[in-house]
Amino acid sequence: MTAAPLRVAVLGAGTVGREVVRALLGRSDDLTPFDGPPLVLAGIAVRDVERARANGLPPDVLTDAPAHLVASEETDVIVELMGGDEPARTLIGAALVAGKAVVTANKHVMAHHGLELEALARRFGSALRFEAAVGGGIPVLGPIATELAGNRITAVRGIVNGTTNYILTAMADEGLDYAEVLAAAQAAGYAEADPSGDVEGLDAVNKLVILARLAFGVWLDPADVANVPADGPGAGRPGITGVSAADLASARAAGGTVKLIAEATSRADGGPPTAAVLPRVVDADSALGRMGGVLNRIEVEGEPVGMVAFSGPGAGGAATSSAVLGDLVAISRELGSTWAGLPPALSAAIR
């Protein structure tokens, strides 16, 4: 007997949402597990229905009322791709309380409200999956929670923001100042008109908080993650905003290069991990040093495995939709939440 389909509502049809919708419409058979229910598109919430219709989205499933899709008895899974804090946080919470599975790429909501949302998911037995919130298309959260679960993780580190890596790579290659490269990155579409979330390290901070939850079992407060270097490249300015061409030249002379490194490390006393997102000089010939352009690389150290690494496209609609679709298939396979069988996380403030 064929299992009843899982009815999927997608909230947001931007760069990532469009790719997810396209896959649900065109590759439903590919996304159906051998022993699980098919995934069918039940609704799409957008700000402008007429514009979405003109862009080719199916009119019969379009709405400008995402809350209606969350509350509807005709939806089983909510895919939140709206971004930002509200109303995304409230919609995710409402879906979890209603017993619906949720897939999200929203790193801000997960980093700032993950403790609350995890508690709701566990209380109401709802799957909450967020692989797409870190590393774009790179599968890293799932492996930490599952394949590496037999290890004691001691550190996670890496390049987790493509915009800043693009800027630093261009500065190093072309010998230009930060402001010049930022302007070029904005013109090329690699940086937003307001790039502060990326260049000040806040996007990377959010991703590090999520990585730390899987690696160390605590939800850190993003405000406690350092993002202003006290010395070295860019000293005194958040993220990479203070990094200069002179900093890159100095690093090059010593055989290094500058990268924005997000790192969380376990503490010997068992307390919450130390965590920071800072521009650092790394060996130019190292794996992190060679990671150019918009690519990401995340390294995980544990005992007994040693060091394993994950690298690939860290942003973009195609890459991020890969993680979203993978989470949808995992829900169809009844694999549960991203944290898999890990115990409930605590707030770092009360650990």
> Which CATH number fits the domain that encloses residue 238?
3.30.360.10
How does DSSP classify residue 236? T
Residues 259 and 217 in one domain: yes
Tokens of 166: 């693009």
Grade residue 270 by pLDDT with cuts at 50, 70 and 90: confident
Residues 121 and 195 in one domain: no
Q: Is the pTM of this model over 0.75?
A: yes
By the 8 A CB rule, do 79 and 104 touch?
yes
By the 8 A CB rule, do 45 and 11 touch?
yes
**pLDDT surpasses 80 at 351:** no
Question: Which tens digits make up the pLDDT trace of 167-186?
Answer: 999 999 988 899 999 998 88
**pLDDT surpasses 70 at 152:** yes
Q: Please list, in sequence order, all residues whose beta carbon lies within 8 angstroms of the beta carbon of residue 187, skipping any fewer than 6 positions away.
A: none
Q: Determine the structural domain holding residue 333 and report its residue range.
A: 6-136+318-347
91 lies in a domain? yes
pLDDT (0 to 100) of residue 2: 63
pLDDT (0 to 100) of residue 176: 87
Residues 328 and 295 in one domain: no
Provide the annotated active-site residues: 207
pLDDT (0 to 100) of residue 1: 47
Residues 35 and 158 in one domain: no
| Closest by CA position to 45, among listed 64, 68, 58 | 64
Tokens of 310: 């994950």
279 lies in a domain? yes
143 lies in a domain? no
Residues 28 and 81 in one domain: yes
By the 8 A CB rule, do 326 and 319 touch?
no
Strand partners, 10: 44, 79
Tokens of 130: 């967020």
- The DSSP string of 182-249 is HHHHHHHTSS-SS-HHHHTSHHHHHHHHHHHHHHHSEE--GGGSB-S-SSSTTTTSSTTTT--HHHHH
By the 8 A CB rule, do 294 and 162 touch?
yes
Strand partners, 261: 278
The fraction of the chain above a pLDDT of 70, given in percent, is 98
CA distance 252 to 256: 5
- HSE-CB of 125 using CA atoms within 13 angstroms: 2
- The DSSP string of 18-43 is HHHHHHHHH-TTTTS-TTSPPEEEEE
Residues 30 and 50 in one domain: yes
* CATH classification at residue 74: 3.40.50.720
By the 8 A CB rule, do 200 and 227 touch?
yes
pLDDT (0 to 100) of residue 32: 86
How does DSSP classify residue 76? S
Residues 215 and 328 in one domain: no
145 lies in a domain? no
Higher pLDDT, 192 or 94: 94
Grade residue 297 by pLDDT with cuts at 50, 70 and 90: very high
Residues 283 and 238 in one domain: yes
Of 22-31, 147-156, 198-207, give the lowest mean pLDDT range: 22-31
Residues 198 and 260 in one domain: yes
Mean pLDDT of 85-96: 98
Residues 132 and 156 in one domain: no
Grade residue 62 by pLDDT with cuts at 50, 70 and 90: very high
3-state secondary structure of 350: coil
CA distance 13 to 20: 8
Residues 163 and 307 in one domain: yes
144 lies in a domain? no
Looking at the 3D structure of the chain, how many domains does it have? 2
For residue 90, give the amino acid letter.
T
Residues 304 and 236 in one domain: yes
Region at 265 (left for phi over 0; alpha for psi -120 to 50; beta for the rest)? beta
Strand partners, 262: 158, 277
Mean pLDDT of 220-233: 96
By the 8 A CB rule, do 77 and 19 touch?
no
341 lies in a domain? yes
141 lies in a domain? no
